[in-house]
Amino acid sequence: MRVTDEVDVVIVGAGASGIAAGRRLAGSGLHFLIAEAGTRVGGRALTVDAEGVRLDLGCGWLHSGDRNPWTRLAQDRGAVIDRTPSAWGRQFADLGFTPHEQEAAGAAFETFDRRLREAPPASDCAADALDPDCPWNAYIEALSGYINGVGLARLSVSDYLAYEAADTGVNWRLPDGYATLIASAAADLPIALDTAVTRIDRGGPRLHISTSRGDLSARAAIVAVPTSILARGDIAFAPALDDMLDAAARLPLGLANKLFLALDGSEDVPADCHLLGNPHRAETGSYYLRPFGRPLIEAFYGGVGAETLEDDAAARWPPLRSRN
Ligand SMILES: Cc1cc2nc3c(=O)[nH]c(=O)nc-3n(C[C@H](O)[C@H](O)[C@H](O)COP(=O)(O)OP(=O)(O)OC[C@H]3O[C@@H](n4cnc5c(N)ncnc54)[C@H](O)[C@@H]3O)c2cc1C
């Protein structure tokens, strides 16, 4: 099938943001189409079924759940929301991390966080706010990976503080999967899958939009793809949008990876507890034990930890070097 149509608006990308844009337009009377390059809705939200258990390989937490618009959408659809407080910050059975060390590491992070708020470095680079003599800098680096998806050397203090100011500290989960919710919210929307937008020509009275499955004419476009895709030039804009693409190039994505392990003898471990791998290593993982009481460990790697793992894996097996 070729996509050849005249619409009011084309939305590029059917991830959470493209679907949210589509839901906003639905019922407006405007004729619109969501063009998605992949063969499914959800983008970086990906729920898979592993022998009957729903696993979120991408996003899983409703951050600021008490005011997150996806919470309302989940409620409207009758989706189960798990409001158990997160176990981050607690070390299961104090394994490899004594209570005294946990207290000292937590205090070091608090001090670092206060320094960001009260005396941010002129460079806006979070690494410049580290106290070189603090014994918990690797721990603070590891936490930055989980929270921000980047190491402190690549973290903008202003961005971090903006997120912190908006964060309500309430984190909820969706046992049936975040992507399941996004797909359900997308069910009634006009979506063309397997349809990559390659060019948006802004030269005439209407936009001329080229896709891998034909051309579209539209009054407006909402581009809801990651900054990395824009910076790479996957979508050509004519006339060029150099300022916008330059801005996108200066806002690269972080890196976050997950790994799920089956847990034998899981009855020995209480549901929903947490382990930090090695609190003295920046590259260490964050492990959620028995999430939702399931016989699993959900491992999370972010920032320098995720980069190190990917680089190690790519060194062993070069085809894996596909990070963008
Ligand atoms: C492992 C991991 C864990 C995470 N955990 C959380 C979490 O717990 N909570 C949270 O809030 N966030 C989390 N995030 C972040 C969250 O997943 C993303 O912020 C969010 O999914 C981004 O949605 P988006 O719509 O902006 O982009 P994307 O999901 O990337 O969607 C963009 C879509 O555009 C499509 N596309 C790209 N190029 C084109 C083109 N040329 N034409 C048409 N379509 C195109 C892509 O195929 C994709 O479907 C996590 C991310 C990862 C990777």
pLDDT in tens, 174-224: 999 999 999 999 999 999 999 999 999 999 999 999 999 999 999 999 999
Rounded Cα–Cα distance for residues 121 and 84 (Å)? 36
Rounded Cα–Cα distance for residues 7 and 216 (Å)? 7
Per-residue pLDDT at 298 exceeds 90: yes
For residue 31, give every residue at least 6 positions away whose Cβ sits within 8 Å of its Cβ, in sequence order, or none. 6, 7, 8, 9
Domains, the chain: 5-82+175-249 (3.50.50.60), 92-172+256-320 (no CATH)
**Probe target for ligand 1 pocket from 11, 12, 23, 44, with the most ligand atoms within 8 Å of CB:** 44
Section 92-113 average pLDDT? 98
> From ligand 1's centre to the CA of 63, what distance in Å?
15
Ranges of beta strands (E only) in 26-166 are 32-35, 47-50, 53-56, 61-63
Which residues face 271 on adjacent strands?
none
- Amino acid 265: pLDDT: 83
- Nearest atom within ligand 1 for CA of residue 40: 49
- Amino acid 320: pLDDT: 65
Cβ–Cβ < 8 Å for 87, 292: no
- Amino acid 235: pLDDT: 98
Confidence of residue 317 (pLDDT cuts 50, 70, 90): confident
- Nearest atom within ligand 1 for CA of residue 20: 25
pLDDT tens readout for residues 213-267: 999 999 999 999 999 999 999 999 999 999 999 999 999 999 999 999 999 887 8
- Nearest atom within ligand 1 for CA of residue 235: 41
> From ligand 1's centre to the CA of 36, what distance in Å?
12
- Amino acid 147: pLDDT: 97
- Nearest atom within ligand 1 for CA of residue 41: 49
Confidence of residue 1 (pLDDT cuts 50, 70, 90): very low
Per-residue pLDDT at 47 exceeds 60: yes
Write the residue with the smallest CA distance to atom 26 of ligand 1. Answer: 17
Section 170-174 average pLDDT? 98
**Probe target for ligand 1 pocket from 40, 47, 56, 59, with the most ligand atoms within 8 Å of CB:** 59
In this predicted structure, which of 75-84, 93-102, 251-260, 264-273 has the lowest mean pLDDT? 264-273
The identity of residue 324, as a single letter, is N
Classify residue 319 by its DSSP letter. G
Ligand 1 binding pocket (C-beta < 6 A) is 12-18, 35-38, 43-45, 58-61, 63, 196-197, 224-226, 229, 234-235, 256-258
Rounded Cα–Cα distance for residues 303 and 254 (Å)? 7
- Nearest atom within ligand 1 for CA of residue 255: 53
Say which residue the tokens 């996004």 belong to. 182
Rounded Cα–Cα distance for residues 163 and 226 (Å)? 18
Rounded Cα–Cα distance for residues 302 and 276 (Å)? 13
- Amino acid 108: pLDDT: 98
- Amino acid 321: pLDDT: 61
Section 20-34 average pLDDT? 97
Section 17-40 average pLDDT? 97
- Average pLDDT over the chain reads 95
> From ligand 1's centre to the CA of 236, what distance in Å?
20
Section 95-105 average pLDDT? 98
Per-residue pLDDT at 287 exceeds 90: yes
The identity of residue 315, as a single letter, is A
Rounded Cα–Cα distance for residues 305 and 287 (Å)? 13
**Probe target for ligand 1 pocket from 209, 225, 288, with the most ligand atoms within 8 Å of CB:** 225
Write the residue with the smallest CA distance to atom 5 of ligand 1. Answer: 59
Rounded Cα–Cα distance for residues 101 and 104 (Å)? 5
Confidence of residue 324 (pLDDT cuts 50, 70, 90): very low
Write the residue with the smallest CA distance to atom 20 of ligand 1. Answer: 44
Cβ–Cβ < 8 Å for 42, 182: yes
> From ligand 1's centre to the CA of 229, what distance in Å?
11
- End-to-end Cα spacing for the chain: 30
Determine what percent of the chain is predicted with pLDDT higher than 90: 92
Rounded Cα–Cα distance for residues 258 and 45 (Å)? 12
- Amino acid 313: pLDDT: 87
pTM of the entire structure?
0.94
